[in-house]
Amino acid sequence: VAARAVGQVAIGRGVEDRQVGHRPRNHPSLAIWCGGNELSRSDKPLDDSHPMLAALKAVVREEAPDCIWLPTSSSGPVFGNSLEEIEKNPDALHDVHGPWEYQGIEKQYKLYNQGCSLFHSEFGVEGLTNLRSLERSIAPEHRFPVDRDNPVWFHLGAWWVKEAMWRSVFGEFATLEQAVQATQFTQFEGLRYAVEADRRRWPHNSGSIPWQFNEPFPMAACTSAVDYYSEPKPVYYGVRAAYQPIHVTASYARLAWGGQEPFESDLWITSDSHQSELEGELEWRLQEMNGEVLNEGRSSIHYKNSDQSHKVTTVRCEMARIKSQLFFLTLNLNDVKGSPIGYNRYLFAAGTNLARIFDLPKADVTVRVYKNQDVERLTFHNPGKQT
């Protein structure tokens, strides 16, 4: 009886999907059809042997024969992207989901440095929403503390309030503003790194789709890049840059380098610009908070096959030379004419966590606007001592 009922549902659904599938089948953004989101049994994704999925596949094959079909997302053979699955069988991570949370100042980078998926079709990093959104959504008496014992925070983001993880990275938050600043930084940093690491593995990894773009209602914390009121969070800009056709990136083992020796980072160039070749120069600079240069260098690049990732060089610095608690790695990629074609910047801690970001003084930035007929040009200048 159960099998017959499932079959009847599949037939009815097939008629509906034939009508729905017919309309968008030639849409330029349509790349893949799938039977549903995270359909699984015993932590294993379902396949086309399921009667419902078999019926849907038949409709797609008839209505859109040129499109790729996957029975579910993720389609497996294992469901999740994790160090445990990678260690168990790295060849089984074809189309995977997860994780959706920042894994920590070391584990986040261990996971994505060992990534082996062919298609990373859903993943994310959590962060608090923008401060103005919180002020519009939560009464002042309920905004702090940020924890799941606070019923308002439990209601508006329980899954994404990762108190233990946040404490391990930043210590305790003294204010709501600190909580927003800290968690939005790790969301920016963590998701940017995940996308960059996936792209460094091209063409082995052929696609990455972060979750999620926006909020369906005013969330206090979640994985969104844009809040309910359509204001971008910092992660929006980090991921937008990570998807640039030509992108320069750094891979590293951790964010906090206390007790480690030496600081080390590999520099990469990733391109899917479809140029016949890529030629230019990569400049890198390791700096203290006051702008003092710890180490710097230049590397000429010339790749005949530009549509792939190339490791350019390795940056090293003895930790004893780093006096400030925070330091930067800045990357600039220029073409043969000296014009900029790629840029990136990374923040690291010389201690064991990122608590010192709360001590950062604000940079003194001035902006000048130059107007020439219909063209406006903005010039930003930092006359202060903070980089």
Span 158-199, pLDDT tens digits: 999 999 999 999 999 999 999 999 999 999 999 999 999 999
Q: What is the pLDDT of residues 2-32, one digit of tens each?
A: 333 333 334 344 445 565 556 666 777 788 8
Whether the link from the prior residue into 45 is cis, omega within 30° of 0, is: no
Predicted local confidence at residue 305, as pLDDT: 74
Predicted local confidence at residue 36, as pLDDT: 92
Distance CA 136, CA 145 (A): 17
DSSP letters, 30-53, are: --EEES-BS-EETTEE--TTSHHH
Predicted local confidence at residue 386, as pLDDT: 67
147-172 burial: b if 16+ Cβ within 10 Å, else e = eeebeebeebbeebbbeebbeebbee
C-alpha R_g of the chain? 24
Predicted local confidence at residue 321, as pLDDT: 95
Reported as type and span, the H/E element at residue 165 is helix 163-170
Q: How many residues does the chain have?
A: 387
Q: Which amino acid is at 309?
A: S
Give the residue-averaged pLDDT of 375-381: 85
- Cβ atoms of residues 118 and 204 within 8 Å: yes
Residue 307: name the closest of 279, 281, 275 by CA.
Answer: 275
End-to-end CA distance of the chain: 69
Give the residue-averaged pLDDT of 351-373: 87
Q: Extract the tokens encoding 223.
A: 């994985």
Q: Which amino acid is at 249?
A: T
Distance CA 257, CA 109 (A): 13
Give the residue-averaged pLDDT of 255-279: 92
Predicted local confidence at residue 359, as pLDDT: 86
**Which class for 336: exposed (0-12), middle (13-18), buried (19 or more C-beta within 10 A)?**
exposed
Predicted local confidence at residue 59, as pLDDT: 87
- Cβ atoms of residues 122 and 81 within 8 Å: no
Total-model pTM? 0.90
Q: What is the pLDDT of residues 306-349, one digit of tens each?
A: 778 999 999 999 999 999 999 999 999 999 999 999 999 999 99
Q: Look at strands 309-317 and 263-271 and give their pairing.
A: antiparallel
pLDDT at 126 over 60: yes
Contact partners, residue 208, CB within 8 Å, separation at least 6: 120, 123, 194, 195, 198, 199
- Cβ atoms of residues 38 and 73 within 8 Å: yes
Give the relative orientation of helices 234-242 and 176-200 as an angle to the nearest 10 degrees.
10
Average pLDDT of the chain to the nearest whole number:
90
Q: How many CB atoms are closer than 10 A to CB 294?
A: 19
Q: CA torsion sign, 135 to 139 to 141 to 147?
A: negative
pLDDT at 136 over 50: yes
Residue 342: name the closest of 253, 383, 281 by CA.
Answer: 281
Q: What is the pLDDT of residues 58-100, one digit of tens each?
A: 988 888 888 889 999 999 999 999 999 999 999 999 999 999 9
Question: Percentage helix, strand, coil, to 5, in the chain?
Answer: 30, 30, 40
Give the residue, 109 or 41, on which the prediction is more confident. 109
Q: How many CB atoms are closer than 10 A to CB 241?
A: 17
Predicted local confidence at residue 17, as pLDDT: 53
Q: What is the pLDDT of residues 55-64, one digit of tens each?
A: 989 988 888 8
Query: Could you say which DSSP state residue 175 is in?
Result: S
- Cβ atoms of residues 377 and 365 within 8 Å: no
Q: Residues of the chain with pLDDT > 90: what percent? A: 75
Give the residue, 38 or 2, on which the prediction is more confident. 38
Beta bridge partners of 348: 327
Q: Extract the tokens encoding 84.
A: 């445990």
